[in-house]
Amino acid sequence: MWPDKHQAARPWHTPGVPDDQLPSRSVFQIPGMDCPTEEQLIRMALAPVPVAQQLEFDLGTRQLTVVHQGPPTSILAALEPLGMGARLASSMPMDRAEALAGEHLSSAPVSQRRALWLVLAINAAMFAIEIVAGFVAQSTGLVADAVDMLADASIYAIALIAAGDAARQRRSARASGWLQLALAGLVLVEVLRSAAAGSEPADTVMILVGMLALVANLSCVAILARHRGGGAHMRASWIFTTNDALANIGVIVAGVLVAMTGSPIPDLVIGAGIAVLVASGAWRILRTL
């Protein structure tokens, strides 16, 4: 999910190069790659591999296509420790015309980088709004959704700020993983405390702030949708943000149910559910670093 480059980080040069030394295109099937978090971890794992010249991700089919020099064994060796079940599906040498075309691949436009900075700012702002509203309204659902917003913001921040430095990326991702895991744990503790002591979540605040968060996420979807065809990292970010909108809808539904039943249980359930999802994402980051 790198914002500054979708394609090649290391250009290759083909004029005068014998055909048997031209780059190859290999496709890897990676069953455990199902979200942009795994994509980022794979990019970090392959950053130190000098033969890997171009990466293209397809989260839908869980495939990674790599343009590289030499045999694909070094790439597979870097992928296997991640524990995502990577295997080589196919490998074919590129012809000279394809390789020449690859030399002219450019970095992602500045507009894509600006779009991701804007999405980061929206997520950070909504975290601040939801965390305050959640505690004021005694809503574990809003608090959990705030943590989810923070998790998103941290992923975007790592991709934007630490891009190009593999060691820095790993340190940042590890710190983000521990932070997300700790916050998710605190939310679950708050859910248990509220269940034991009793809570009276303010359904109106839940619904209104949940709707605001939904609008914010849909705005992010609209921003990223303009660049969805511009690179795998942009498509991944679009999918990521679209999925997050479902959590906002969950908070709104929970608020409606609280208003209808007078019970805090819907709020506790959605809060616990979102916290578990955040913890699961954080654990995936930590166990593969």
Q: Give this prediction's pTM.
A: 0.62
Confidence of residue 17 (pLDDT cuts 50, 70, 90): very low
Same domain? For 33 and 74 the reply is yes
User: Per-residue pLDDT tens for 66-77?
Assistant: 888 888 888 999
Domain that holds residue 253: 110-288
Confidence of residue 175 (pLDDT cuts 50, 70, 90): confident
Same domain? For 115 and 221 the reply is yes
Q: In this predicted structure, which of 146-150, 203-207, 223-227 has the lowest mean pLDDT?
A: 223-227
**CA angle centred on 106, ends 105 and 107, rounded to 5°:** 135
Nearest partner of 159 among 260, 36, 17, judged by Cα: 36
Same domain? For 193 and 279 the reply is yes
> Which tokens hold the place of 102?
């690859």
Same domain? For 97 and 115 the reply is no
Looking at the DSSP bridge assignments, the partners of residue 87 are: 29
End position of a domain, from candidates 46, 73, 103: 103
End position of a domain, from candidates 103, 124, 147: 103
Quote the CA–CA distance of 197 and 191 in Å, as a whole number: 10
**CATH number of the domain residue 63 falls in:** 3.30.70.100
Q: Structural domain tally of the chain?
A: 2
Same domain? For 76 and 181 the reply is no
Token pair 């980022």: residue: 40
Contact status, residue 281 vs residue 151, Cβ threshold 8 Å? yes
End position of a domain, from candidates 69, 103, 137: 103
For residue 33, the model assigns a pLDDT of: 81
* Strand positions, DSSP E, 15-78: 24-29, 52-58, 63-68
Residue 21 is given by DSSP the state G
For residue 6, the model assigns a pLDDT of: 38
For residue 133, the model assigns a pLDDT of: 94
Token pair 């997520």: residue: 123
Token pair 């608020």: residue: 255
